[in-house]
Structure 1
Amino acid sequence: MKTFSTSEDQSLSQRLIQKFHLSEQLNIIRAGVLGANDGIVSVAGIVIGVAGAQQSTAALFIAGISGMFAGALSMGGGEYVSVSTQRDTQKTMTRMQDESIQRNYEGELNGLAHHYESEGLTPALAKKVAVQLMENDALNVTLKSKCNIELQHYFNPWHAAISSFLSFILGSLLPLLSITFIPYPYKVPGTIAAVICALTFTGYASATLGNSDRIKGVLRNLLVGIGTMTVTYLIGGSLG
């Protein structure tokens, strides 16, 4: 069985902390990417649908700008509620873990030792490391090992909400400006082409953040976006 020195154990602990901080940062980036993607698809669907009804450029702009701010507020509010729930859950887990330590210190100590055994430490070294860490900061170390939560580093709902709000507006500007300034008869095809390019980028970015297949992520994004624009255009054309 592979063993580790104390310095190596500390290095492992630091890497786990850094990984948690990175996940918090990626949560903000995720909200931004999803916000931009939703802004592109939502506003593109609105303006393409209105264009299908053969409305004026002014009507297209009004519909697009209304959809942009309505969607941005909805996305930002949704992210705030969602991340607030995550933050509340983290605080609840912290309180429950603190109570568990007070009631069953030995059980938590043994559980921490078992955790380090599963990471590759010998039983004797795992026990020694667990005892020392529990003496230094029992709540923090058990939270990290059991829940990947670090005290005072909870998710911030405002960060995700603002990121989503601003990115939705930035994403929606592309179809809004395209449908407004591209002249007839190229208004609709030009906007669709611009949206396809933007969705390719956001699909690739989402897949990269999720460490998944990039081509599949792009194709999935394009399928949703093109499908949305097709449906709204047909509805606008049939009712206009």
Structure 2
Amino acid sequence: MKQKMSLAQKVNILRASVMGANDGIISVAGIVIGVAAATQNPFAILISGLAGSLAGTISMAAGEYISVSTQKDSQKMALAVEGQRLKNDYASEFSFVKQKYLDQSIDPELAQAATQQLMDKDPIGTVVQERYGFNPREYTSPYDAAIASFISFPIGSVLPIVAVTISPVHLRIWMTMLAVTFMLIITGYTAAVLGGSDRWKSAFRNVIAGLITMLITFVIGQLFAH
């Protein structure tokens, strides 16, 4: 039976989904605007958007799987190293954990009692948490991360494809940019909420990144316009 995900794991998957959708919006918007700047052929614009969406979906899912798998391998290695350290020199590992609490200005007697209790209950989990900053019982699944990206990237890419397809020819590029900008504010803000960072600053950075991407591809498209 699959273990129930913790809140931290759920937040990580949700964050991967939001960023996957965000990448889908920016990447495909750049593609369709570049092509739209070069040609008014709606079929060419649509095919380029769909091809970019497909390629980006596969690339994003594979990238998430590889990235999270590498992180998980590193965490397993840390567990193995700490397990060996505990066997070879338990006292040093105990002192390390205690010192971490003392560095937080915790009363020495309380630090000793807390360390003793935690090390008695789960020595390797305690040491790993304090030394490496992750909970060894809360791995993020590479499969979950890959699936989240595989679903969210094409969902995000739908917006620029639809916007550039249904807009009037003379407003096609500007209406697509406007729709994309609006969505980038939402995804940037949401990512900041999940990550605990400044929300409007994150949204602003996200919009700037998207606008720069679209501007560059627009200029390139104009160079080959016919």
User: Which residue of 116, 128, 152 maps to 1:143?
Assistant: 128
| AA aligned opposite 2:160 | P
Q: In structure 2, the residue corresponding to 1:152 is in which secondary structure?
A: coil
* Contact map agreement 1:199 1:222 (CA 8 A) in 2: yes
Do structure 1's residue 158 and structure 2's residue 137 form an aligned pair?
no
1:136-178, Cα deviation, whole Å (9 max, x unpaired): 3221222222223333322211121111221111110000111
| AA aligned opposite 1:231 | I
Aligned match of 2:59:
74
Instruction: Please provide the CA RMSD for this pair.
Output: 2.0
Q: CA deviation at 1:33?
A: 1.8
Aligned match of 1:228:
213
Separation (CA, whole Å) in 1 of partners of 2:196 and 2:27: 25
* Contact map agreement 1:37 1:202 (CA 8 A) in 2: yes
Q: In structure 2, the residue corresponding to 1:186 is in which secondary structure?
A: helix
Worse-matched range after superposition: 35-44 or 229-238: 229-238
* Contact map agreement 1:208 1:214 (CA 8 A) in 2: yes
User: Which residue of 57, 65, 71 maps to 2:42?
Assistant: 57
* Contact map agreement 1:110 1:127 (CA 8 A) in 2: no
TM-score for the superposition, normalised by structure 2: 0.89
The verdict on how the C-alpha distance between 1:130 and 1:218 changes in structure 2, with shifts beyond 3 A counting, is closer
User: Which residue of 169, 175, 182 maps to 2:154?
Assistant: 169
Q: CA deviation at 1:102?
A: 0.1
Separation (CA, whole Å) in 2 of partners of 1:42 and 1:177: 14
* Contact map agreement 2:40 2:169 (CA 8 A) in 1: no
Moved over 4 A (4+): none
Do structure 1's residue 184 and structure 2's residue 169 form an aligned pair?
yes
Separation (CA, whole Å) in 2 of partners of 1:109 and 1:145: 11
Separation (CA, whole Å) in 1 of partners of 2:185 and 2:117: 51
Do structure 1's residue 103 and structure 2's residue 103 form an aligned pair?
no
| AA aligned opposite 2:22 | N
Separation (CA, whole Å) in 2 of partners of 1:166 and 1:104: 47
Separation (CA, whole Å) in 2 of partners of 1:225 and 1:129: 48
Identity %: 41
| AA aligned opposite 1:180 | T
Q: CA deviation at 1:198?
A: 0.8
User: Which residue of 185, 195, 208 maps to 1:200?
Assistant: 185
| AA aligned opposite 1:139 | I
- What stretches of structure 2 of length at least 5 have no aligned partner? 1-5
